[in-house]
Amino acid sequence: MTTRKPIYTIAMAAILTAALSGCADFRPSETQGVTADASITANVEAQLNQLPNLGPPGTIAVQTVGHVVYLNGTVDGGLQKRIAGSVAMQASGVTNVVNNIAVSHS
C-alpha cells in the first residue's frame, strides 16, 4: 500500500493544478485601462488647448472611457467641431470619438 500513496499524491497535485489554472485571469487589470484613459484624456486636452481657434483652453470638455473619447462643449462653427474631432481621433490609443460639440449660431 505504501507504493500507491505517491501515485495518489501526484494525481491529486495534477488535478488541483489543472483546476486552479482555470481560475487564473490573464486580462489587463481595470486600473491599467483607467490609467490609459486618463493619459488619452490629458493628451487630447493638451492638443485641443494648442488650437486657439477652438476657443480658450478648457472650452471643450474631454472624457475617455475604454479608449473612446467623448467631446462636449460649444464652438463657433462646424469646421471647429470637425477639427476637434479629427485631433481627438489622431491621439494615440483612441479607438473612437463621440463628438457632442455644439455649434453656436450667433
Q: Domain residues for 61?
A: 28-103
pTM: 0.69
The predicted-structure confidence for 43-78, as pLDDT tens digits, reads as follows: 999 999 999 999 999 999 999 999 999 999 999 999
Number of domains in the chain: 1
* Residue bearing the bigger pLDDT, 16 or 1: 16
Q: For residue 42, what is the domain's CATH number?
A: 3.30.1340.30
Q: How many Å is the Cα radius of gyration of the chain?
A: 26
- What whole-number distance in Å separates Cα of residue 4 and Cα of residue 1? 6
In a domain, 17, yes or no: no
Q: What is the pLDDT of residues 26-42, one digit of tens each?
A: 555 556 667 899 999 99
Q: Is 61 within a domain?
A: yes
Contact 69, 98 (CB under 8 A): yes
3-state DSSP assignment of residue 69: strand
Lowest mean pLDDT among 20-24, 43-47, 81-85: 20-24
